[in-house]
Structure formats: C-alpha cells, structure tokens
Amino acid sequence: MAVTAVFVLSLVLSTYGFLLDNAPTSSENSLFNSQYTGNGETPLYWRNRAKSDLDNSIKNQPIIGKAKNTIIMLGDGMSMTTVTSARILKGQLNGKTGEETILSWETFPNLALSKTYTQDYTTPDSAGTATAFLSGVKTNKGVIGVDASVPRGHCDPSPTHQLSTILDWSLAEGKSVGIVTTARITHATPSSAYAHVADRGWEGDHYTQHVTGGCKDIALQLVEDNPNIQVLMGGGRRFFLPYTAQDPESGSNTHYGRRDGRDLIKEWENDKTARNMSHKYVWNSKQFHQTNFSQLDYFLGLFDSSSMAYELDRFDTHYEVAGEPSLAEMTEAAITILQKNPKGFFLLVEGGKIDLAHHGNHAVKALHETLAFNDAVAKMDSMTNDRDTLAVVTADHSHTMVLAGYPARGNDILGLIKNSAGKLELAKDHKPLTSLIYGTGPGAWSGIRPDLTGVNTDDKEYVSESAIPFNPSTHAGEDVVIYAKGPMSHLFHATHEQNYIPHVLAFAKPPSYNRKPPSYNRKPPSYNRKPPSYNRKPPSYKRKPPSYNRKPPSYNRKPPSYNRKPPSYNRKPPSYNRKPPS
C-alpha cells in the first residue's frame, strides 16, 4: 500500500510539474489582460493561484497534540448560500467583484460537513441542534439539554434524562468558560450549554407559571445552577428582572418580567460579592467600553430587553438608543477574561441574528450579520494560537435562501440580476428578479408577482421574495459546513453527525479530558478503557497469510480462451457487412 501511495504521489507531482513547465511565463502574458472577461484574469493567473493553494496544502500538517483552549463559533442559520453571498458582499463593499473574496474562517485548513437532523425531525431547530453539538447526543426538536426520551413540553426536573455538555466538562477540569451571543442569553443556542428544559420557550417564569412539575425556567437555571460561568454576554434582560421593574431602555417589564418577583441580576452580583470575586454587570455600550476586562473574574452584560440589535441598526437611534458593543468586541472581552486561567478555557460565541434575519426574509440584514460574525472570528483568530487552541466555526442548521438566476460576475449580490451586457434578466413573467430568494417566508406574494423595477432591494428593510408563504420563514435541512483549526482539527474530515463535534473537542483536550467526569452520562468502563483487542491488532491482521500475498497461477495467467476471442466475434458475418439490395 505504501509503495502504491508513493507511486500515485510521484505521478501527481510529475503531472503537476508538466503543467507548470508548459504554463505561459509572466514574460509571455501578464496576470491580467483586458481581452479576458471578469477581472481580466489570464490562464497564468489561475495557474499561479492554484499553485499557491497547492503549495499551502502540501505544507499543511495536522497538529497532533492537546488543546488547552476550545472555542465554538456558531453562525445561527449560516447556510452555504449565506456564506457564499456574504463572501461576495464583503468583496463588493471593498470595491471588488466579490466572488474571489474569502471570509476569515475560510482560511482554516480542515473542513467537514455536519448532518443537522434531530432525532425526530428531518429539518431541525436550534434547540435540538445546539444540544447535539454541545452535549454530543442527538435529541428532539424543541428541547434543550435533555435526551430524546423527553417529549417536548413534558416537565421532568429529575436529572435522569439531563445531558452534560462541553461547558460542564470544562468546568470539571478547572477551566474557565464563557458564552457570548447577539440573541437572548436564554435563547436556544446559548442555553443549550447550561440548561435542561423540555421546551425551549421556557426562557422565563412568564412561560412556566402554569407548568406543573417543578421545572425551573432557563434564566433561573442560569443564575441558580450555573454560578461558575465567568462570562455571559447577550440580550434578554426581561427574563432576569421582576415584572414590577422598569427596564432601563424599554421601560415597563410587566409582560415578560419575573412573576416570582426576583431580581436575578442582583442575585448574580450578590453571589460574586459573597465569594469575593471581582465582577461587573453592564447593560449598555458606554459601560462596556469603560470596563477593564483584564481585572475581572466574572462579567455579565445584558444589552437589550430581548435580542440585541441587528448590526445595521446598532447606530440607528430608531432602534438603539443606549448603544451596544459589536460581536467582535464582545468576543475580544470574553477571551481577555478567560485566557487568564492557566488551565485554559471553553468559549461559545453565537452570531444569533443571522437566523432571525433569515426568518423574516431579510437577506440584507442576514448578510451583514454574517459579516459581523466574520469580524468576530477574525478577532478570535488574532488572539489565539493554533498550537494550543482548537477553534471550530460552524452553523446549527441551514435556511431556505438560495443564490439563483444568472447574474454576471460582480453583479450586486443584493440587487436585481443583470447579465454581462448590463441588461436586466427577466423571468417568464417579463419582470426582473434578485439573485437571493427564499423557498419559504413572508416574502411570498398572492396573485401577480410585483414588478421590482425601481425597488431598492439593497435597503435593510427589504423583504426578499419567497416561493411559499410562511411567517416566519422555515429552516432548511441540508448539511452545513464545519471549519476547524488547531490541535486535532484534522479529525474533522468527512461527513459527520452533528453530535460528533464535542467529542472531538473533548478528545483534543489534555489527558484528564479523556477521563470524562461521571456526569457524562455515566458510560460504562468499556467506553473509557478500550479492550486490548482494540488497541493491539492480532498478528493475523499484520501478517497476511501466504495465500493472500501470492495469487494463484490461474489468477495471474488468463486462460487462452479469454485472450483469444473466437473468430465469430472478430469477423462479422457477410450478411451483416453487406446490406441486401434494395
């Protein structure tokens, strides 16, 4: 097998060398020439670019070792179409055609696909998927941190069916942990790291006041049951304040406020004070930017009553008055606090508003949220080291947005489709269309499709067209991509079940992470200690029997009747070669 591999590699390299030797040199032709379409890229340009990619691939070697830090950067609803479209938008915002641009995570050396279905649904939601990529176990749609034996909405507070997560495993090893999101901190993805509920909607006791069985709401679980999460940033203030309180930004908290009258923010502060831990709570941008994060042990930032503002609305006073930090700024603050722990840290960062924008068919907002997520990943990358940090960028599920039609290279990704001659492309109804459309959502029309001529489809409030009316738009069920770098990131290499992700993170951590705490579902010893027959292959596997290595003569020499075809096969009969006279 080794000889075959060497032969194949030598053949590939020799072919590659031949192509390069016969490629035009820069003296024969430039990299760009106006006689070529697009940006004028010549054949030499494409060969040089491919050579550069190949050189980088050859140099890339797996980092075999243990990860001190593990990070999951989650783009909620970040489908492949979303990635492609955001890549193009990023380039166009920088004066380029866009298609040739790359996003920050697209330089990561290892990629795989993630199968996102839940145990009971083909197309998933964020609760079931987050439970999978954080606990390592697939479960039902709509539940958080419990296994698939728990029906949605059935209150069962016993720990029997509760699932521990990568956050729990990290805390058990003395590591620091943090969660950052642009959604509510009690929303499906962030809460799947710490909560256990039979319904993702139980974010506050406003929703559980009529639920019997003694189940805690998610906000209460965060403060009461998870006092050691050092960094918490996102939205969702309304579930932490009593219903009699005034929200500092939105005013009355009567509808969603806590029915038990408790102020969970104050309780969080009191716990840290009692434990003599340096801490700070903030709720606006000014307080955030006045904070010295390197001096803190604990930090809580709740920047909105509900989810945080869209990136395009952060500086729009019609939507945001007090101001909010960006996802990149929150990521930087989180790593600054967490990296002080010599044992390392686990961090979950979610670009949660990508999904919310897609649900409203707001392609413009969805792509700008993806670019904000791009900046957060770039910030994470600049603050960490590939030798000791395993970083994973992925999505929880897809959306129904597609990039369709035949737009010319460099066509405004958010605009109407134009061909290479600059003329609008028209559909069968003789009306223009945009490149980005949805399969489902509020953008569907009834009756005659409207004429988009003169419509500003780049406006952030524009609702993209959809084929089937749904409000909100549904998720989609196709695979999403896993991008990874750092120690053992090469283990992401194929099409994996989504629950595979935290198992790789656990395997990549120092030796103590290979001895998982008992709370990890109490797996039997046979899971932790593989039997000898697994670790040492039997001799019969290493030394193949002679009959396998030496093929019998009858196999090596084909019989004469096989090598010489009969005359009737080689010579067709005359009646076949000569057609009868007409």
Q: Output the pLDDT for position 158.
A: 81
- Note the pLDDT of residue 510: 61
- DSSP labels, 26-69: TTTS-SB-TTSSTT-B-HHHHHHHHHHHHHHHHH-----S--SE
Q: Could you report the per-residue pLDDT of 5-36, keeping only the tens digit for each?
A: 444 444 444 444 544 444 444 444 689 888 89
- For 14: left if phi > 0, alpha if psi spans -120 to 50, otherwise beta; the answer is alpha
CB 350 within 8 A of CB 183: yes
Q: Assign 559 a pLDDT band (cuts: 50, 70, 90).
A: very low
> Chain-wide mean pLDDT for the chain?
87
- How many separate helices (H) and strands (E) can be counted in the chain? 22, 17
Ligand-binding site membership of 355 (annotated): yes
Residue in 79, 104, 126, 466 annotated catalytic: 126
- Write out pLDDT tens, residues 395-427: 999 999 999 999 999 999 999 999 999 999 999
The single-letter DSSP state of residue 237 is G
Question: Counting Cβ atoms within 10 Å, is residue 554 exposed (0-12), middle (13-18) or buried (19+)?
Answer: exposed
> Mean of the pLDDT values across residues 120-140?
98
Mean pLDDT of 181-207: 97
Please tell me the predicted confidence (pLDDT) of residue 59: 92
- 350 belongs to an annotated ligand binding site: yes
Give every CB contact of residue 31 below 8 A, 6+ residues apart in sequence.
41, 42, 44, 45, 48
- Can you say whether the dihedral through the CA atoms of 404, 406, 409, 414 is positive or negative? negative
Q: Does residue 446 carry a catalytic annotation?
A: no
Residue 493 is labelled as binding a ligand: no
The residues pairing with 437 across neighbouring beta strands, listed in sequence order, are 402
Integer Cα distance of 12 and 372 in angstroms = 40
What is the CB-side half-sphere exposure of residue 214 using CA atoms within 13 A?
4
Is 76 annotated as ligand-binding? Answer: yes
Residue 317, pLDDT score: 83
Task: Please provide the CATH number assigned to the domain covering 69-400+475-508.
Answer: 3.40.720.10
Residue pLDDT, tens place only, 89-118: 999 999 999 999 999 999 999 999 999 999
Q: For 575, which DSSP code?
A: H
Coil, helix or strand at residue 281: strand
Instruction: Choose among 382, 250, 384: nearest CA to 309.
Output: 250
Q: List the chain domain ranges.
A: 69-400+475-508, 404-473
- Of 225, 284, 246, 237, nearest to 265 by C-alpha is 237
Containing 560, the helix (H) or strand (E) segment is helix 560-563
Confidence of residue 512 (pLDDT cuts 50, 70, 90): very low
pLDDT score recorded for residue 548: 42
pLDDT class of 285 with cuts at 50, 70, 90: very high
The lowest-confidence range among 185-199, 313-327, 452-466, 473-487 is 313-327
Spatial contact of 182 and 329, defined as CB atoms under 8 Å apart: no
Query: What does DSSP say about strands 480-485 and 110-115: parallel, antiparallel, or unpaired?
Result: antiparallel
DSSP one-letter code for 455: -
Does 187 appear as a known binding residue?
yes
Instruction: Read off the pLDDT of residues 330-355 as tens digits, 9 standing for 90 and up.
Output: 999 999 999 999 999 999 999 999 99
Distance between CA atoms of residues 36 and 42, nearest Å? 7
Distances in Å between the alpha carbon of 466 and those of 70, 82, 248, 434, 439? 38, 16, 38, 11, 5
pLDDT(189) > 90? yes
DSSP assignment of 298-320 equals: EEEEE--SSSPPPGGGTT-TTT-
* pLDDT score recorded for residue 44: 93
